Amino acid sequence: MSQLTAADGRGAPQGRDESALFEEETVPHAFVPTSAWPSLEGPVVAHSSTAQTPSPSATPSIGIMPPVRHPAAAEVLPGFDQLRSRVDDAVLSDLIGDYKALRGTAGPAPEEATGRRPDQLGNLLGTYRSARFRSAARKVVREGAGDGTSLNKLADYSNQRAGVGAILRDRFILDAEIGRGGMGVVYSAVDRRRLEAGSPQPYVALKLLNDAFRTDSNALRTLEAEARKAQSLAHPNIATVFDFDRDKAEVFIVMELLTGQPLNRLLAASTGQAMAPALIANVLKGICAGLAYAHASGVVHSDLKPGNIFVGDDRQVKLIDFGLATASNGTGFDAGQLGALTAAYASPEMFEGADRDPRDDVFALGCIAYQMFVGFHPFAMRASNEAREQGLTLEPIPDLDPMAWEALKKALAFERDERPQSVEAFATALFEA
């Protein structure tokens, strides 16, 4: 809180009149008269429950309450968006009140309280600023893009830890947690730059890496290199990675925010039975197209699994988390130990520390395809090295074309050389059978 100084004796930032920050019309008046309400010209009298009803010819008395009528239920119950807007306004109003009350505390304060006041003021400013950004973003989504919003007035004086409401890099405001995994937590976040530019989509996804990655400098350097590599992948079936960045102790990856469901949820909804054939074909073709492009660009996914395959509301398939597990290649650190390797979908070679190969992704793709065709994992969610040691074999899929079944069996071979040499070869055998 070194930026907070006692410019006015109460801990406000130097050179800034913080009171002026709250003079703009953030919270609407609680009561706004309509044209149907009587004018307040003339004496103001209060209605009484015993007052007589005036005759139509009499001059109506002017009261502080509107004419009584019984509105319909639709008029009484506001919609969800209207309620959320009112909640946003109430939160902002309370924050303003807390801020002004803290700044306006009169009389001598104990030394301990005086020392805490700058921190309290800074935290209130940061919380208010975060709430305003998030409220403005919801308004953009609800009402459509406007001319852009100028949100440069408030500087960030808070030391908030990363979590809902926190602001990273003076740009990204964490709005809601949308996922959690071995590598970290994923949030939907308001991108301040998009909001100021009037973008119709002010949200992005932020993956905050967990402590195991943040404290391992070797892992951090490699993950950054892999994230930069993923940025080069521009394909309709690959989620866009915008940036890899840090804010003090927080390390995060900025990605496009997707709407829809990850494939693992769709599979969970149909456990024990095959998915619809049209959906299977759509998803598998999307996965194959994205993987083929990535492999041609020299990038192996290395953590392909249903949770990293997103099926959008428009049935568009997107692959996420490209290349992060590949970070274990020759760097002296094992991504598998940090949760970047998913045992049920990893090839036996990955457990042996072999160099990454596109055929590792083919093995994972075979597991996913089998799961979609049958409704359960080919090896009952056991790791491939354990399945090999136990001599497990695949249960045939009766309704599948023999050539397609042969392609699927090869994709699930425990030996790398027995698998299809490329995703394209697997897709050709599967779909042109």
Confidence of residue 268 (pLDDT cuts 50, 70, 90): very high
Strand runs labelled E in 195-323: 203-209, 241-247, 250-255, 260-262, 309-312, 317-319
Q: Is pLDDT at 378 greater than 80 in this prediction?
A: yes
Query: Per-residue pLDDT tens for 142-187?
Result: 776 555 544 444 334 344 457 898 999 999 999 999 888 767 889 9
Structural domains of the chain sorted by starting position, each given as residue range(s) with its CATH number in brackets: 1-27+77-146 (no CATH), 167-255 (3.30.200.20), 260-431 (1.10.510.10)
Query: Distances in Å between the alpha carbon of 190 and those of 96, 199, 314?
Result: 22, 11, 23
Query: Per-residue pLDDT tens for 54-96?
Result: 544 444 444 455 555 555 555 556 677 777 777 777 776 777 7
CB 146 within 8 A of CB 140: yes
Among 75-84, 240-249, 374-383, 410-419, the minimum mean pLDDT is found in 75-84
**Mean pLDDT score of the chain:** 76
Catalytic (active site) residue 211: no
Check the annotation: does 207 bind a ligand: yes
How many C-alpha atoms does 317 have within 13 Å on its Cβ side? 20
CA dihedral (142, 144, 147, 148) positive or negative: positive
Query: Distances in Å between the alpha carbon of 54 and those of 47, 174, 218?
Result: 12, 58, 85
pTM for this prediction:
0.63
Average pLDDT over residues 291-311: 92
Tokens of 357: 């190969």
Tokens of 303: 């953590």
Dist. CA 371–CA 380, nearest whole Å = 10
Say which of 303, 357, 360, 361 is annotated catalytic: 303
